[in-house]
Amino acid sequence: MNKTELLYEGKAKKVYKTDNDECYIVDYKDDATAFNGLKKGTITGKGIVNNRMSNHMFKLLEAAGVPTHFVEELSERETAVRKVKIVPLEVIIRNIAAGSFSKRLGIAEGTKLACPVLEFCFKDDALGDPMVNEYHILATEIATKEEVEKLTKMAFRINEVMKDYFKTVGIELIDFKIEFGKTAEGEIILADEISPDTCRFWDSETMEKLDKDRFRRDLGGVEDAYLEVYRRLGLA
Ligand code: TMP
């Protein structure tokens, strides 16, 4: 498979059209941003970690019955994925209070939640990805009721699989963001990435942060944190 044309360059990845009508190629960059692009930087080696880790997670989820866009890892930074139209929603699941949830509701980071929380944000950089509920989504026709039900069911299932898996490598899955895509046939599948950019990972024993919060909050040891997760997944 060969790249033919750059389709889209995002903050962390480039997406190319290919000579295969069914597939795109994703190229993971080391560029990092936070706060809707206000903070910019580089996390050396991040593209490799995020590419290989996402593929590892997609394979694990496929084995658990979750359809994903993963097709084939082509190189350290490049992967062939199924061509989809991204549903313009960030789907967030939270197991433990942190980040914007803690800030908005005044609940200390690290507080265990009585049940997982699902949030949707409308993907629109100019608007700063505002949080929306199911009524907003239906009223503005971002997705249909059936699609929202599907996303919800898949997101909770993904949470169960990932939470259990990360526990086995001494990591608490605090929260994460996923995105879904729609194939030409109208099937909803998991897309985008699953990495320390898009999840909060805390060491189960020390509660040390092993994710992009180290970059967002200038905590230092950013590269080491990404490599530690990579190592624990047996990818190093
Ligand atoms: P939040 O607490 O800042 O709302 O973040 C919730 C989760 O979503 C956290 O795991 C980080 C992830 N996330 C992204 O992947 N992209 C984003 O743009 C933001 C704001 C959060």
Nearest CA to ligand 1 atom 17: 198
* DSSP class per residue in 68-102: BSEEEE-SSSEEEEE--EEPSEEEEEEEE--HHHH
Closest CA to 194 of 77, 94, 51, 82: 51
Atom of ligand 1 nearest to the CA of 175: 10
Q: What is the pLDDT of residue 193?
A: 98
Structure token digits, residue 180: 């879904």
Task: Encode pLDDT of 169-200 as tens digits.
Answer: 999 999 999 999 999 999 999 999 999 999 99
Nearest CA to ligand 1 atom 2: 99
Pocket around ligand 1 at a 6 A CB cut-off: 92, 98-101, 175-177, 198-200
Residue 12 near residue 28 (C-beta atoms within 8 A)? yes
User: Which of the residues in the chain have pLDDT under 70?
Assistant: none
Atom of ligand 1 nearest to the CA of 174: 10
Task: Encode pLDDT of 199-226 as tens digits.
Answer: 999 999 999 999 999 999 999 999 999 9
Structure token digits, residue 151: 């996303």
CA of 88 to the centre of ligand 1 (A): 15
* DSSP class per residue in 106-174: T--TTPEEEEEEEEEEE--GGGT--EE-HHHHHHTTSS-HHHHHHHHHHHHHHHHHHHHHHHTTTEEEE
